[in-house]
Amino acid sequence: MTDITAENSGAGRNPVAPGAGRTVASAVPQSLVARLARGITAAEGAATEWTVAPLTGEPLAELPQSTVADVDTAYRLARGAQQAWAARPVRARAAVLLRFHDLLLKRQDEVLDLIQTETGKARLHAFEEVLATAMAARHYGRAAAGYLKDRRRGGAVPVLTHTVEGRRPKGVVGQISPWNYPLELSVSDALPAFVAGNAVVNKPDTQTALTALWARELLVEAGLPAELWQIVVGDGPVIGPAVVERADYVSFTGSTRTGREVAQRAAARLVGASLELGGKNAMLVLADADLEKAAEGAVRACFSSAGQLCISIERLFVHGSVADAFLERFAARTRALRLGGGLAYGADMGSLVSQRQLDTVTRHVEEAVKAGATVLAGGQARPDIGPLFFEPTILDGVTDQMAVCAEETFGPVVSIYRFDTEDEAVATANATPYGLNSSVWTRDLRRGRAVAARLRTGTVNVNEAYAAAYGSVASPMGGMGDSGLGRRHGAEGILRYTEAQTIASQRVMPLAPAFGLDDEKFAALFTRSLRALKALGFK
Ligand code: NAD
């Protein structure tokens, strides 16, 4: 391992947050694990796999592993339940989401323990998942009937054709989710699928399956028929393709590499897919930004969930005239972040989830430092707190040759770049195949929105890190370019789970020669009608 010397180690180590006195074993007892594991669709006597609690490295849960045959069973059960569910009125389906909203807020401590234990994140960041999931439940609980209602459309000839556009459920949605936001990314994408009349076969990441299983129990308590949400657990490359190959629609969240494979499988079967993938997100601090607020926002932008957040910022562009003043504030705040693994509020940042994540973060930082980057804060692993802790890290002097410049780190590491003009900042921020999220800081909101519109990302936050856009659940969220296809949230987030169907009924006369009109007269009549319809302003 490269020795990061005191000179470039960012001066001072992050303080440690006090522990909460609760252990992983007491927060997630084996009796709870056994109860939740019964929600996995897997045959009796299935092989099992242990997960490990990232905070401490202790064994956490022994989970049955579903096979391809179990995926078949899951689809059979889901299909068996879907039609009766779809036949219920939308408002009855939506009521389940609204009850789930209330239950989730009431019982949030249970799931906060699970999320922290499975992912290692700080409780505040686990709470963000509760918040986002409750907002999605409220939104689709209240707005689904409007999104899904039949809409009258104009026919070929007014009055003669009565046309209605309707929405039908796809059937069974195959949903594959990652480990980083296990509540939000398993549940929030499933809620609009359910309310639109679908069933869901979900494959969460094995590491975070308990959180998804807990959410399923809660949704069943809120009134969802139990068979409608099947959860299969197992190795991604083994059962992931089986989930895709049986789905009527695929909702995938994960890496760009896996997303491409999923898209190809879905394309071969001509089923639709939405893909929420990786990013290399940029934040722009313009010359007129409020530097205190921007520094505080940058901390949230870069280090929430230890940077294991698809929309977190890994490239920070700051105007040269304010760079020193901004960096002084940003680095001081970053160095003061309290790291900790207690199962209670109090830590500002938790652990990474796995050795694989720690290895990538360490490699990106070490290689950059070796090639001449300077560490303004952090830069080191913190095994004194837990096996997978790494300090929130700010790198200056990063160049194109360093992996950290272009590759997604997916950890608590941000690189600083200075710019002179807005055009230059926008062009460099856009010079990435990704296009997920970005953030612009300025005192002039109009200017901020104008810069935002030039950034090639699915969401842009002005004077906020990521929560303003993500929390706008009535508005679409997703990626351009290598960051994905399709959107969650808003109308797109629910209509993707439906097929549009046009039902047009013809009255009085057909759209063809009739009532003794010969072909020529019919053509002449229709030519006059078309001219009249345009003159009258018909669309
Ligand atoms: P990953 O692609 O390795 O795994 C994601 C899921 O896909 C897991 O459940 C995994 O088991 C499964 N999987 C693996 N191989 C598969 C295959 N061949 N076929 C089908 N499924 C398969 O991603 P990860 O490392 O777990 O997650 C982190 C990535 O997810 C990051 O790149 C991050 O940016 C991205 N992400 C994106 C969003 C978003 O909304 N855009 C949100 C969260 C995470």
- Which of 2 and 304 is assigned the larger pLDDT? 304
Of the residues 310, 364, 408, 482, which should be mutated to test ligand 1's pocket, given the most ligand atoms within 8 Å of the CB?
A: 310
Kindly report, as residue ranges, where domains of CATH 3.40.309.10 are found in the chain: 281-478
Q: What is the pLDDT of residue 332?
A: 98
Binding site membership of 182 for ligand 1 (Cβ less than 6 Å): no
Q: Taking each helix axis as running N to C, give the angle between helix 291-303 and helix 323-336, from 0 to 180 degrees, rounded to the nearest 10.
A: 50
Over range 467-477, report the average pLDDT. 97
pTM: 0.96
Q: How many secondary structure helices (H) and strands (E) does the chain include?
A: 20, 18
Distance CA 75, CA 522 (A): 52
Kindly report, as residue ranges, where domains of CATH 3.40.605.10 are found in the chain: 65-277+490-495
Identify whether the C-beta of residue 308 lies closer than 8 Å to the C-beta of residue 297: no
- Which of 12 and 494 is assigned the larger pLDDT? 494
Binding site membership of 234 for ligand 1 (Cβ less than 6 Å): no
Distance CA 169, CA 122 (A): 38
Distance from the alpha carbon of residue 520 to the mean position of ligand 1, in angstroms: 61
Identify whether the C-beta of residue 344 lies closer than 8 Å to the C-beta of residue 22: yes
Of the residues 253, 409, 483, which should be mutated to test ligand 1's pocket, given the most ligand atoms within 8 Å of the CB?
A: 253
Distance from the alpha carbon of residue 277 to the mean position of ligand 1, in angstroms: 7
- Which of 516 and 71 is assigned the larger pLDDT? 71
Candidate list 276, 314, 408, 422, residue with the active-site label: 276
The 3-state secondary structure of 351-414 reads CCCCHHHHHHHHHHHHHHHHCCCEEEECCCECCCCCCCCECCEEEECCCCCCHHHHCCCCCCEE
In angstroms, the Cα distances linking 160 to 42, 168, 418, 505 are 55, 25, 64, 8
Q: What is the pLDDT of residue 11?
A: 54
Q: Taking each helix axis as running N to C, give the angle between helix 108-119 and helix 90-106, from 0 to 180 degrees, rounded to the nearest 10.
A: 80
Across 75-89, 255-269, 314-328, 512-526, least confident range: 512-526
Identify whether the C-beta of residue 179 lies closer than 8 Å to the C-beta of residue 208: yes
Q: State what percent of residues in the chain have pLDDT above 90.
A: 94
Average pLDDT, the chain: 96
Do the strands 437-441 and 172-176 form a parallel or antiparallel pair, or are they unpaired?
Answer: unpaired
Binding site membership of 493 for ligand 1 (Cβ less than 6 Å): no
pLDDT digits (tens, 9 = 90+) for 311-325: 999 999 999 999 999
Q: Give yes or no for residue 288 having a pLDDT over 50.
A: yes
Distance CA 8, CA 373 (A): 9
Q: What is the pLDDT of residue 23?
A: 87
Q: Give yes or no for residue 6 having a pLDDT over 80.
A: no
Give start and end residues of each alpha helix (H) in 46-189.
Answer: 68-87, 90-106, 108-119, 123-148, 182-183
Binding site membership of 412 for ligand 1 (Cβ less than 6 Å): no
Question: pLDDT band at 156, cuts 50/70/90?
Answer: confident
Residue nearest to ligand 1 atom 6, measured at CA: 178
Over range 74-102, report the average pLDDT. 98
Record the tokens describing residue 183, joined without a space. 């509540």
Distance CA 66, CA 203 (A): 10
Distance CA 496, CA 499 (A): 8
Closest CA to 56 of 137, 136, 118, 8: 118
Binding site membership of 314 for ligand 1 (Cβ less than 6 Å): no
Q: What is the pLDDT of residue 296?
A: 98
- Which of 19 and 24 is assigned the larger pLDDT? 24
Closest CA to 304 of 388, 414, 433, 387: 414
- Architecture of the domain whose range is 281-478: 3-Layer(aba) Sandwich (3.40)
Distance CA 502, CA 153 (A): 9
Question: pLDDT band at 9, cuts 50/70/90?
Answer: very low
Identify whether the C-beta of residue 451 lies closer than 8 Å to the C-beta of residue 440: yes
Looking at the CA of residue 179, tell me the nearest atom of ligand 1: 26
List the beta bridge partners of residue 281: 313
Record the tokens describing residue 538, joined without a space. 């018909």
Binding site membership of 436 for ligand 1 (Cβ less than 6 Å): yes
Give me the CATH topology for the region 65-277+490-495: Aldehyde Dehydrogenase; Chain A, domain 1 (3.40.605)
Active site residue 276: yes
Distance CA 326, CA 286 (A): 11
Identify whether the C-beta of residue 484 lies closer than 8 Å to the C-beta of residue 259: yes
pLDDT digits (tens, 9 = 90+) for 93-144: 999 999 999 999 999 999 999 999 999 999 999 999 999 999 999 999 999 9
Of the residues 258, 305, 360, 477, which should be mutated to test ligand 1's pocket, given the most ligand atoms within 8 Å of the CB?
A: 258
* Backbone angle region of 152, left / alpha / beta, with phi > 0 → left and psi within -120 to 50 → alpha: beta
Distance from the alpha carbon of residue 252 to the mean position of ligand 1, in angstroms: 8
pLDDT digits (tens, 9 = 90+) for 134-152: 999 999 999 999 999 999 9
Residue 146 CB-density burial (10 A; 0-12 exposed, 13-18 middle, 19+ buried): exposed
Closest CA to 412 of 313, 342, 343, 294: 313
Residue nearest to ligand 1 atom 13, measured at CA: 236
Q: Give yes or no for residue 7 having a pLDDT over 50.
A: no
Q: Give yes or no for residue 365 having a pLDDT over 50.
A: yes
